[in-house]
Amino acid sequence: MPHYDLVIVGTGSGNSILDPRFADLKTAIVEKGTFGGTCLNVGCIPTKMFVYAADVAATPSHSSRYGVDEELKGVRWPEIRDRIFGRIDPIAAGGAEYRKNHEDNQNVDVYQGEGRFTGMKELRVSFTDGRPDEVLTADRFVLAAGGRPVVPDVPGLAETGFHTSDTIMRLDALPRRITILGGGYIAAEFAHVFASFGVDVTVVLRSGAMLRGEDEDVSARFTELAAERFDLRRDRKILRAHREATGAVLELEGPQGAETLGTDLILVAIGRTPNSDVLDVAATGVTTKASGHVIVDDHQETVVPGIYALGDLSSPYELKHVANHESRVVQHNLLHPDDRIEADHRFVPHAIFTSPQIASVGLTEQDARARGVSYVVSKQDYAGIAYGWAMEDTTGFAKLLADPATGQLLGAHIIGPQASSVIQPLIQAMSFGLDARTMARGQYWIHPAMPELIENALLNLPLG
């Protein structure tokens, strides 16, 4: 039973903890899947590379508004796929090779297998190559084992066959029809990708709106636009699934009664769940929320001294930039146990790379109402700024919430071109306490550039 100074479970953001300052520690890394974690292999990076190709493919669908007639001649899916994974797969393989064999990692052992706690600070590793299990113990653990897609309990779905975000990007060929179950960010991004590539897309929702976690105005606008582009089946219950000679069939129940929906491929995109159950963290005394997320304090430490957790395993945000931040906090606290720092989750932004893009930080309007927070609101349409005219954008907008007494920003929500970039000055202002009036008038705004959307939204806030 080998004993270590430190064991790290998961090679996403957890893998970035080890640097030369840990060289004198006897360390183990446990990884049940592919090195690099969700973001590199099945998440942020490959999806955004697909989205960029989709954005290019979608250009002819709206170029005529500028007096430019374009035509999409074809989409070479295998080339798109192979361009993406031809870059990503070597990075994952290189990360594993570096940890296993590079001289920098002489005190690091890599266990390619699935870890599961069997006692206090005791982890059993089941190897993927069939070797006998091995039990590791350690003074300190970092749990960074991420999450996995949720699969609904639909009778016949497993037998019918389906994909998740973990598998959909490696298809051999594009289907003619795809049905996406779910209305969150994963569903929104893949609906854009496949529709742009010429696939007939149907989206099945349990509720009446897509992206319900966004600000209500953003969700309503996106749902409206999605209904124009996809076959949007709202307020549907999935009764069962089966397969026929012509493809997969879903039996639905909706506002008008029973429906039968035929499709070539089913993509399940109803959310993700943390891998705390796979790790059986309770066996080592670590506690979890009802959602399965590992409970940590402000230092990212669990209730068990010496066991830290980070990323999708413990964070409800489930965002790579949050996992990276938490990884830096854990790294510092491992190196400086007598001078620990706290994670900063005050203003965590996110973006959804669909079409149009969406970005958000801080409180939504429904959040503010529910919490009884005093606020004022402003909205600025892309159509009201010069660059918006250039783009002929008639649907995008920025929405800001601010404290009426201090002018401090409480939330920012953007739907429209390059929202993920346009929102950054607002994240900065909130993080450093810059009030709306000072932000609007205390600097130059390039004219006629897209950030004027933010300038005008700030000036539109009804502050005293």
Residues taking part in catalysis:
447
Whole-angstrom Cα distance, residue 5 to residue 334?
Answer: 11
β-pair type (3-9, 134-143): parallel
Written as one letter, the residue type at 164 is T
Residue with tokens 């795809």: 178
**Any bridge partners for residue 263, and if so which?**
248
Residues 6+ apart with CB under 8 A from 187: 180, 181, 203, 210, 267, 269, 270
In angstroms and rounded to an integer, the radius of gyration of the C-alpha atoms of the chain is: 24
**What sign does the CA torsion over 424, 426, 430, 435 have?**
positive
Cα pseudo-dihedral 77, 82, 85, 90, rounded to 10: 180
Cα pseudo-dihedral 357, 42, 85, 70, rounded to 10: -20
- Residue 371's alpha-carbon distances to 341, 363, 366, 461, in angstroms, are 29, 10, 9, 21
Three-state SS for 351? strand
**What sign does the CA torsion over 186, 192, 196, 201 have?**
positive
> Are the CB atoms for 146 and 275 separated by under 8 Å?
yes
Whole-angstrom Cα distance, residue 276 to residue 127?
Answer: 19
The DSSP secondary structure of 394-420, one letter per residue, reads -S-EEEEEE-TTT--EEEEEEESTTHH
Three-state SS for 431? helix
